[in-house]
Chain A
Amino acid sequence: MESALATTLMGKYIGAGLATLGMLGAAIGVGIIFAAALNGIARNPAKEGSIKGLALLGMALAEFMGLLAFVVAILILYVVKS
């Protein structure tokens, strides 16, 4: 029979591991953004400056969702009482 503490720890580790799967969506999203940016620069090389600026902005916004998944994992590991 496992103690309540061991069960909580097991739950925390499994939960934190599962929470990091959320970064998959962020990685795909960033890839789509840069694919569109490369496409745009290839079609219209004169607009490279403004396309690069928008691509970086889009990357930060998409990456933010992946970081939320990471923050949830950190919250589970270090803030939940055990």
Chain B
Amino acid sequence: MTEAPVHNPLAQFEVYPIIPLKFGELDLSFTNASLWMVIVLGMATSLLMMGVRNRQLVPGRWQSMSEMLVEFISSVVTDNAGKEAMKFFPLIFSLFMFILLSNLCGMIPLSFTVTSHIVVTFALAATLFVGITILGFVKHGMHFLSLFLPAGTPWWMVPLMIPIELTSYFMRPVSLSIRLAANMLAGHLLLKIVAGFVMIGLLGIFPFGFLLIFTGFEIFIACLHAYIFTLLICIYLNDALNLH
């Protein structure tokens, strides 16, 4: 685009350094993305630590909130990956809290949505994918490769099934990361574009009403996609631990 519009809806996704730290070619600046990740970390830690202070048998409000989150993710892990996947529960719970709080912090006005960048979600999805694949090979040895050939396929379909299954296996981290990042990107972009229409005078009440309802919908989408990411990781973990 040769001429920049006056109000650029993509400007909210810009990453700029707050504390520049360049070591020659290596750029380790503390950016606004890093700042918001630190804020999310602080929120998650304080939410859960305040929940376990003064533990009582009949929980107060903080403790009840923390317990509901732990119970919810615990049920997702055991329903989808079996009871022996509970040793991965701290990882799955941290993943869920990070994505949930990052998505929700993005709904604060004038903030930065950490998970709207594909680099962040791809880092999460790719490291988990590599880890789950290594876990599958450690647990099952070479028998892990039987994941790509469902039992009972006729011999003439085997050369067709294996590339298809391999492709769909390697598409997993790509689809996980793009799903989360594109949902966050599209939601915030739409909010910004509609917000640009609000100040046109008396008729601006209609874009404002749409913004109101759509912000509520975006909060629902933020929580839903944290759940979807976690659920799909548990399903892939189940594939690796208990080959089908």
Contacts and interface: CB of A to CB of B under 8 A. Distances in A.
Given A57-B231, A78-B1, A68 B224 contact: no
B178 A68 contact: yes
Contact of B183 (A9, A67, A77, A78): A67
A7 B170 CA distance: 37
Interface in B171-199: 175, 178-179, 182-183, 185-186
B interface SS class: helix
Contacts of B2: 5, 9, 82
A interface SS class: helix
Nearest to B182: A67
A60 to B, nearest CB: 4
B28 interface: no
Given A57-B228, A60-B179, A64-B178, A70 B1 contact: no
A68 B225 CA distance: 16
Nearest to B186: A70
Contacts of A70: 182, 186
Interface string A27-39: 0000000000000
B1 A68 contact: no
Interface of A: 5, 9, 56-57, 60, 63-64, 67-68, 70-71, 74, 77-78, 82
